[in-house]
Amino acid sequence: MTDSILAYIQKASKKGEKLLAILLDPDKTTFEEIPVISKKIENLNANFIFVGGSFVEKGVTSVFVKELKENTQIPIVLFPGDYSQVTNKADALLFLSLLSGRNPEYLIEQQIKAVPFLKNSTLEIIPTGYILINGGTNSSVLKVSKTTPIAQNNIDLAVSTAIAGMYKGKQLIYLEAGSGAKIPVNLNLISEVKKNITIPLIVGGGIKTKEQLNNTFKYGADLVVIGTAFEQNNF
């Protein structure tokens, strides 16, 4: 990949090319599984591997990413649950702000805690507006962030939140139903958000079948993230 990861996503979005990321949680994947999992991800022609989780112990992410790097050429993007999950061994970092919540810890505090490391890092840092949508389960993200997700039928609020994120300078918007969500993000909600922003849209959570994946792309997602369904061999 000659472009930066953000530029690659932006160009794909403008061309209408759809991208796929597989989310790996170091808390759920053993190091011994990495060679087999890496090959499986390559066979899916995934564009990126996202790495992150809500309860990953300090230091584990760095070793996990190092092991991944030894087994695949696919770019690795950090999707951290907190600042301790940042490592220079990855290619890029989604610098997340939880826009759907009102907990300052995940709007700005975690980001400030990451700065002493990031200012000397070679990571590509991608400002990302993170918006939780109610996926019908009390996901680990909700437990950790202590925030309320946006209701699936509150499309106006989701759209306004995404636009606000764009106005604040975010380069990506990420609609997330949560790990293991029973319900993926409402397709009409995806469509309306996409119509109202001019930056790429990521969607993840609760996508369990190829039909759901294709519909998520069809309704406007530029990049879809698969986690639990990949772990369960649905793809």
Q: Please give the Cα distance from 77 to 96 (Å, whole number).
A: 12
Q: How many Cβ atoms sit within 10 Å of the Cβ of residue 192?
A: 18
Tokens of 227: 């986690």
Q: Please give the Cα distance from 176 to 121 (Å, whole number).
A: 27
Q: What is the pLDDT of residues 131-167, one digit of tens each?
A: 999 998 887 787 788 889 999 999 999 999 999 999 9
**Closest to 82 (Cα-Cα) out of 125, 135, 141, 1:** 141
Q: What is the pLDDT of residue 235?
A: 77
Q: What is the pLDDT of residues 87-125, one digit of tens each?
A: 999 999 999 999 999 999 999 999 999 999 999 999 999
Q: Please give the Cα distance from 11 to 164 (Å, whole number).
A: 23
Cα 171 off chain centre by: 13
Query: How does DSSP classify residue 85?
Result: G
Q: What is the pLDDT of residue 55?
A: 85
Bridge pairing between strands 19-24 and 48-51? parallel
CA 224-226-228 angle, to 5 degrees, is 155
Q: How many Cβ atoms sit within 10 Å of the Cβ of residue 83?
A: 17
In this prediction, what percent of the chain has a pLDDT beyond 90? Answer: 86
Q: What is the pLDDT of residues 162-202, one digit of tens each?
A: 999 999 999 999 999 988 889 999 999 999 999 999 999 99
Model-level pTM?
0.96
